[in-house]
Structure 1
Amino acid sequence: MRTVVAVYTGQGLADPLKKVFQELLPDVRLVNIIDDSLIGDVVKAGRVPPGVARRLVQYYRHGEELGADVILNTCSSVGEVADMARQLIGVPIVKIDQAMAAAAAARYDRIAVLATLPSTLEPTMRLIEKEARAAGRAVALVNGLAAGAFEALNGGRPEEHDRLILETAERVAGEADVIVLAQGSMARMESRLSEATGKPVLSSPRLGVEQVREVLERFAGLEGGEAGAR
């Protein structure tokens, strides 16, 4: 049985992502490592502080020790730490938002990035720009920061959180060909936002797990080829 270790900086995405795994990779052993202090420290600092980066690398190492075939980084705010850690960890690290960013950069010219935190918005925009450069394309990015939405959700006001995200999506839709949801926890609003704006909306959880599946299949194929050669 293959093992995937998912590393979380908060609680909100674990249950929805588990359902995606059950659908797309039902035979995979999924192990969750959750430290919900991480996102609080990132929000407080407005960036990824060194202490958070160190703890994340430790969790990736723990994932390797747990027998992971793939480690899934589930938080867009810390994706650049995952990039760095790939040089240190002996198993593949998949960033949950990389496939989403690549799809947006390959298909669309004007991309609105919707987020509730600057610390998530900015690295997601950088990732899309990176994927666009790799594809040899020039894209225009639209800032879709839903100010106050994160605080509303943390304050127990999910309806206000959703309202602010919807209002932000409607505000930026006229400037964009597609809306990208920078936080996986926003995926539940994908259909609602698309209906309200008339624009395609991309979210990361399903695309991220599909990329995990591709990596697992590729390594299974390599192992099969090596066995055949022997």
Structure 2
Amino acid sequence: MTKIVVVHTGPVTVEPLKAQFAQQLPDARVVNIVDDSLLADVRTAGYLTPEVTERLYTYMSNAQSMGADIILNACSSVGEATDLLRGMIRTPIVKVDEAMAEEASALGARIGVVATVSTTLEPTVRLIGKKAAEQGRTIDVTECIAQGAFEALLAGDSAKHDDILRRAIIELADHVDVIVLAQVSMARLVPALGSLPVPVLSSPQSGVGAVRHALSRAA
């Protein structure tokens, strides 16, 4: 049986990804490693610290020892650590937002990125810029922080989180060609957005799709 280990920096990414694995890779065994101190430490410092990267290495090394066929990094805030760890871990590592960034940079020149924490916004913007450069495309990125949304979600007020985020997305839609939701936890809002003039991309579906494609290539 295929074994996939997912490394989470908080509990809010577990269920959205579990649902996607059930749809796309129903026969795989998915093991979740959750350490909510990782994102908390990144947010406190304001950037990805060496200590967080070291702990991520430990978790991914453990995943390798568990016999994982592939590892999924579920958090954009620590995604850049994956670039380093790919050279240290033998097991293939997929970043949950990489396929989404590639798609966004191919869809339009004006890209809006919405996040609820700045530590996710900045690496997502850099990732999109990197993918656009690889495609030889010139892009303009509009950054948007939905202030107060993440705190509402942590406090258990999902309705407030959704309201803040929905308004931010709708306002941004008139000024860009495509909108990227920078966090897995934001994806559940997409069905409730209704008709918008631009596509809205979220990472759970494409991230798990990238896992599926990586597994098929390795087969």
TM-score by length of 1: 0.92
Question: Aligned residue for 1:155?
Answer: 155
Instruction: Give, in whole Å, the separation in 2 of the partners of 1:156 and 1:74.
Output: 21
Question: Aligned residue for 1:169?
Answer: 169
Instruction: Give, in whole Å, the separation in 2 of the partners of 1:201 and 1:170.
Output: 10
Instruction: Give, in whole Å, the separation in 2 of the partners of 1:80 and 1:39.
Output: 13
1:157 is matched by which residue type in structure 2? D
Q: Is the 8 A contact 1:10 1:35 kept in 2?
A: yes
Question: Aligned residue for 1:203?
Answer: 202
1:11 is matched by which residue type in structure 2? P
Q: Is the 8 A contact 1:124 1:182 kept in 2?
A: yes
Identity of aligned residues (%): 49
Question: Aligned residue for 2:116?
Answer: 116
Q: Is the 8 A contact 1:7 1:59 kept in 2?
A: yes
Question: Aligned residue for 2:105?
Answer: 105
Q: Is the 8 A contact 1:191 1:201 kept in 2?
A: no
Question: Aligned residue for 2:44?
Answer: 44
Instruction: Give, in whole Å, the separation in 2 of the partners of 1:168 and 1:19.
Output: 26
Instruction: Give, in whole Å, the separation in 2 of the partners of 1:213 and 1:159.
Output: 32
1:105-140 CA distance string (max 9 Å, x none): 112111100100000000000000000000110111
Of structures 1 and 2, the one with the larger relative CO (CA 8 A, separation 6+) is 2
1:135-158 CA distance string (max 9 Å, x none): 110111011111111112222322
Instruction: Give, in whole Å, the separation in 2 of the partners of 1:56 and 1:68.
Output: 15
Query: SS state of the match for residue 26, structure 1?
Result: coil
Instruction: Give, in whole Å, the separation in 2 of the partners of 1:153 and 1:107.
Output: 30
Instruction: Give, in whole Å, the separation in 1 of the partners of 2:29 and 2:153.
Output: 31
Between structure 1 and structure 2, the one with the greater Rg is 1
Q: Is the 8 A contact 1:3 1:69 kept in 2?
A: yes
Deviation at 1:5, TM superposition (A): 0.6
Deviation at 1:16, TM superposition (A): 2.1
* RMSD, matched Cα: 1.1
1:205 is matched by which residue type in structure 2? P
Instruction: Give, in whole Å, the separation in 2 of the partners of 1:38 and 1:94.
Output: 18
1:217 is matched by which residue type in structure 2? S
Q: Is residue 96 of structure 1 aligned with residue 96 of structure 2?
A: yes
Deviation at 1:174, TM superposition (A): 1.6
> How many residue pairs align between the two structures?
219
Instruction: Give, in whole Å, the separation in 2 of the partners of 1:213 and 1:8.
Output: 18
* 1:1-230 equivalences in 2 (<5 Å): 1-193=1-193, 195=194, 197-220=196-219
Deviation at 1:162, TM superposition (A): 1.1
Instruction: Give, in whole Å, the separation in 2 of the partners of 1:188 and 1:4.
Output: 22
Q: Is the 8 A contact 2:98 2:127 kept in 1?
A: yes
Instruction: Give, in whole Å, the separation in 1 of the partners of 2:107 and 2:173.
Output: 16
Unaligned runs of 5+ in 1: 221-230
1:44-82 CA distance string (max 9 Å, x none): 111112211110011110110010111000000000001
1:155 is matched by which residue type in structure 2? A
Deviation at 1:196, TM superposition (A): 5.5
Deviation at 1:199, TM superposition (A): 2.0
1:204 is matched by which residue type in structure 2? S
TM-score by length of 2: 0.97
